[in-house]
A = this chain, B = another copy of it.
Amino acid sequence: MISSPNDPTARDTGADVYAIILAGGSGTRFWPLSRETHPKQMLQIVGEDSLLRETIKRIHGFVPAKNIWIVTTEDKAQDTRFHIDSLGSLAKEIGFINEPLGRNTAPAVGLAALCLNRLSPASIMVVLPADHAIPDGEKFLRDLKVAVQGAKEDSLVTFGIKPIRPETGYGYIKAARSSKTGSKGLLKVERFFEKPDLKTAKRYLSRGGYFWNSGIFVFKTSQILSEIQTHLPSLYDSLKKMEALLFEPDKPDQPSIPQSAFRNPQLVTLYSRLEPISIDYGIMERSPNILMVPAKFRWSDLGSWAALDEVIEKDRAGNILRGNTVSIGSQNSTVFAGDRLIATIGLKDMVVVDTPDATLVTPKDRVQEVRKIVETLKQGDREEHLIHKTVERPWGSYTVLEKGDRYKIKRVVLKPKAKLSLQLHRRRSEHWVVVSGVAKVTREEEIYLAYTNESTYIPVNTKHRLENPEEVPLQIIEVQNGDYLEEDDIERFADDYGRQ
């Protein structure tokens, strides 16, 4: 299995089912809650965990952990791994396939099929976006069983969602009224349609037989590779070349690929030259071989802040209010607050989203334009689209409380028994005040403990390490002084998490 630390031997020749979770999205549309380094799939906006972790837990009811692979891009791989870490032993069995950079879903699925084909040529792939909401997990699994049956019979199977309104933000699938497929619960797909205008969407809704395209697919690995060869021959050629770079030709059953293989410069070049195209457009719309499961589960692709209306329960006035809010006479509005107070009066069909460094205010019918805000921030060389004030790390998290002239203040929280890397800064010194827990401090040759309400000092150019020796979280306030206070002023000498 590729890059999974466990199960290095199995070569399954049976019809094993594998889950391919596509987690490469940037999630601009959920700004300011999503950031470039904290994309939509990492948000907990629906349900009890982040969308990615919910997706993993959901599919884990159907396939073993070692059969789950996450496809993400090289730049997001480390953060994504850290993000799923809270799933414990489950997370450790999950494999990663790293695209050198994002090229839409057809190349991503192709790369995954390439790898999976080596491990289990007779496998069936379930392709799942990491950032969709499916509140009814059990219904989903029942429908999935039907889809797998269809895939076994050499079809490409998709899931159609029964439309409940004339949505213009989704693609549509027209299905045959009755199944002539031989497989129970599956409909023949007549055609895919791109996102329609409102008039067309209304017609689809009134005619019936039209479904929303969920973007969830099931097919044999061998089958999708063959379809790529037919419909996207240029992608297929490139995949073949990549295969030669990723696998040794004389070891056809090579069970795993080191992560570094995805950084092979030739592979990066090949991948960057691929045409960005979606699996929907590149394969599903072109193949005659498509079946559809009319889904019984609720679903939303959470395409924007307005889409929350579909999957979050509203109060009597139609509002969704989260966090520290005081609302007077508002209707059909969504307010996402954190610890800071968001007070609203008489809002109608509005969205307000607050984060520690940025707030968005917009009518629901213009939420799509949040992309323009993000674009403006990028052009202005700012940070509010890039990172959050609180950054998750494998050892815990840090929060930038204030940046000033030649100083920066952070709250640093270490999980029980966690430690930061042994490190050194060339241009800043650090004062640490322990506000809860006990800190174990390494400072050059010294090793000592700092208890709550004690402080210590790390001069510039001094090797140091912060560690939590206890079973309760450690919290310190760090005051940095220096002429350069960015994260890249760090030299690491040893790290529990393999960072350099």
Does A240 have its Cβ within 8 Å of any Cβ on chain B? no
Assess A401 versus B409: contact at CB under 8 Å? Given A358-B343, A362-B344.
yes
- Is residue A481 within 8 Å, beta carbon to beta carbon, of the partner chain? yes
- The verdict on A308 contacting chain B, using a C-beta distance below 8 Å, is no
In contact, A373 and B404 (Cβ under 8 angstroms): no
Q: Is A155 an interface residue (CB 8 A)?
A: no
Partner of A343, one of B32, B345, B429: B32
Main secondary structure, interface of A, reads strand
Cα distance A377–B325 in the bound complex, in angstroms: 11
B359 touches A345 (CB 8 A): no
Q: Given contacts A343-B32, A345-B366, A359-B354, are A401 and B404 in contact (CB under 8 A)? A: no
Given the known inter-chain contacts A346-B363, A360-B343, please indicate yes or no for A402 contacting B407, CB distance below 8 A: no
* A90 sits at the interface (CB 8 A): no
Instruction: Decide yes or no: A361 and B373 within 8 Å by CB, A407-B436, A435-B404 being known contacts.
Output: no
How far in angstroms is the closest Cβ of chain B from A133?
Answer: 24
How many A residues touch B, CB cutoff 8 Å?
Answer: 54
**Cβ-defined contact, B457 with A481, below 8 A:** no
A452 within 8 A of B: yes
**Contact partner, A455, options B342, B366, B455, Cβ 8 Å:** B455
Known: A373-B345, A384-B341. A481 touches B435 (CB 8 A): yes
Residues of B within 8 A of A343 (CB): 32, 358-361, 370, 373
What's the minimum C-beta distance from A46 to chain B, rounded to whole angstroms? 23
Question: Which residues of the other chain, B, contact A341 by a CB distance below 8 angstroms?
Answer: 32, 357-359, 377, 382, 384
**Contact in complex: A326, B373 (CB < 8 Å):** yes
Q: How far is the CB of A66 from chain B (nearest CB, A)?
A: 41
Interface presence of A315 (CB below 8 A): no
Contact with B along A397-436 (1 / 0, CB 8 A): 0000110111101010000000000000000010101011
Query: Are A477 and B479 interface neighbours, CB within 8 A?
Result: yes
Asked if A123 CB lies within 8 Å of chain B CBs, one says no
Q: A352 within 8 Å of B by Cβ?
A: yes
Enumerate chain B residues within 8 angstroms of A409, measured Cβ to Cβ.
401, 409, 477
How many copies, total? 2
Instruction: Indicate whether A340 reaches chain B with its CB closer than 8 angstroms.
Output: yes
In the assembled complex, A475 has its CB within 8 A of some CB on chain B: yes
Q: Nearest Cβ distance between residue A329 and chain B, in whole angstroms?
A: 8
0 or 1 for each of A427-449: is its CB under 8 Å from B? (1 = yes): 00101010110000000000000
CA distance A480 to B243 in the complex (A): 59
Distance A367 CA – B326 CA, assembled complex (angstroms): 15
Q: Which of B329, B361, B435 contacts A347 (CB 8 A)?
A: B361
Please report the C-alpha to C-alpha distance between residue A227 and residue B358 in the assembled complex, in whole angstroms. Answer: 55
Residues from 469 to 491 in A contacting B, C-beta threshold 8 Å: 475, 477, 479, 481
Q: In whole angstroms, what is the CA distance A404 to B344 when docked?
A: 26
- Interface residue A264 (Cβ < 8 Å from any Cβ of B): no
- A343-B361, A401-B409, A407-B475 are known contacts; what are 11 more A-B pairs with Cβ within 8 Å? A340-B357, A341-B358, A341-B377, A342-B358, A346-B369, A361-B361, A401-B401, A407-B477, A431-B431, A452-B481, A455-B457
12 contacts between A and B (CB under 8 A): A32-B341, A329-B369, A341-B382, A343-B370, A344-B362, A345-B362, A345-B366, A345-B367, A345-B369, A352-B361, A431-B455, A433-B433
Spell out A's residues near B (CB within 8 Å): 32, 326, 328-329, 340-347, 350, 352, 354, 356-363, 366-367, 369-370, 372-373, 376-377, 382, 384, 401-402, 404-407, 409, 411, 429, 431, 433, 435-436, 452-453, 455, 457, 475, 477, 479, 481
